[in-house]
Structure 1
Amino acid sequence: MNLKNATIYDIAKYAKTSTATVSRVLSNSDYPVSDELKQRVLDAAKKLNYTPNLVGRQLKTKETSDIAVIIPNISNPFYPSIVLGVEDVAREKGYNVLLCDSYRNPQLENAYLQSMVEKQVKGIIISSISQNNKTFMQLVEKDLNIVAFDQDVTFPCNKITFDFEDGGFLAVEHLIMLGHKKIALIGAPINRPSRKSIYDGYLKALKKYNIKFNKEYVLLNELEKEFHNEIYEYKNGIELAKRFLQLDDRPTAIFAINDLTAIGVIQGLKSHGVRVPEDISVVGFDNIFISEMVQPALTTVDQPQYEMGKLAANL
């Protein structure tokens, strides 16, 4: 017998009792079973290395203890910090966490949503990159618990929000207070609500301090695609640093739309002999743990990822 695949039928045969009795003992049923027979069943289960069939139990009880977390890319340290916050709360409450990486692909995100519904998860925590709310509305109508974070979604659900516009404003204001008037904005496409708000904060700060907007100082990559062996934001920062250095009227400061982009920018500038902060100031956004490990340490806007994960899980 393959002990790893032992069933309640094997246990019943070994303990010389019925499968119904085995089921009652293993599920801690209130049905009366003698202490001697109960111990015999438990000893048999241990001897046969029995592992409960959780899927079968879920089909019978229609109950799971799973929470799904769907994120755009695990390669960005911003998201693992959030997942850690979710995991810590979930473990404390007796829940399991199922992690899904959408690779910035709306179709894959939708496939994960459908799969998690089929698995009858208790709830879904998601940073959605999809612009289509049809699937979400269907899930909301089915009373599925959804908590959104990172992006400002329009379908009705609980949300963990962050004032991205104010964060963008503070970052640019900091550079202005250092005496900079030529400030570049570098990042991925403005195709998410968070990025749009950060961009609005950039414009708001320029306007408040009477600094003329120069569209040539906004350097964005039009393509965004995640590969399993590359970190998109970091590579994007390196690539856009090259474009930055080709500007005729080069800015004296850079505001990167997230920390990985900022770190890529710094490395790209260094490879061309440009020093940070001596020659150009750079500010990031998110405050991922790597930001204090790079040289020089990155000035950045703090977005408390771990706390966001805990809040999402508690909701």
Structure 2
Amino acid sequence: MDQILAQNLPLLLLAGLILLVVFLAVKIVPQSEKYVVERFGRLRSVLGPGINLIVPFVDTVAHKVSILERQLPTQTQDAITADNVLVQVETSVFYRILEPEKTVYRIRDVDGAIATTVAGIVRSEIGKNELDEVQSNRSTLIATVKEQVAMMVDDWGIDVTRAEILDVNLDEATRAAMLQQLNAERARRAAVTEAEGLKRSVELAADGDLYAAEQSAKARRITAEAEAYATAIVAEAIADHGIESAQYQVALKQVEALTKMGTSNGSQTIVVPAQALDAFGDAFRMLKGRG
């Protein structure tokens, strides 16, 4: 038995060596990772997901790098706005490693480096804007921060997928001052609204008076035009028919006046002027003459 084992020992060793070579040469890389392979301490290649072959005993997998998206812990840093207001800014950054050969050889602490870069860029960008602009234009500020961070970390083989400014906090003194300013602004707007309403009311009243005056003037003008028209008719009648036409009109007016006096309420006695009979006679005579 020992003799058989001794005879087959080289074969067993050779089989074991072959298995070891295969084990060392074949590398199965998961979908979420990339392997950085070194040869004698120098970068040889980067293995992607799937089955890969390397030279055993010569090439070694020096780094296994995850290519999943990562989120940095929420960072809080102080910043001063352009109008000298101290704020505390909470930021969060998401990134992916695209070129692990750059990441592992150019930067030691990726998370710390990105956090420091983000803090510096956020302070710089907030210092260019006043507090109101920081609050109202946060989306623009976030886009600028993301662009600046992406440019800074490009040499590290990193893609910044998202940079967020989660909150901008103020100290209590600044909050109280802003609240007082807000209340003053609301009071000012209320006073302006009330003044504008009073002004509008006065304007409407003036417009109403002007409209009434215009309508009254128009009515007087129409009355004057009517009277002028009547006068013109009488003048034309006098011109066409002579003085008799005028006397006829006067006689008719006298008759109408006497008729109204007789039909008025409370009038039980009719006063007939001495010329009344003459007026009736003249009217009937002229009427007969016209017929």
TM-score normalised by length of structure 2: 0.24
More strand per residue? 2
More helix per residue? 2
Q: Which has the larger radius of gyration?
A: 2
TM-score normalised by length of structure 1: 0.22
Higher relative contact order (CA 8 A, sep 6+): 1
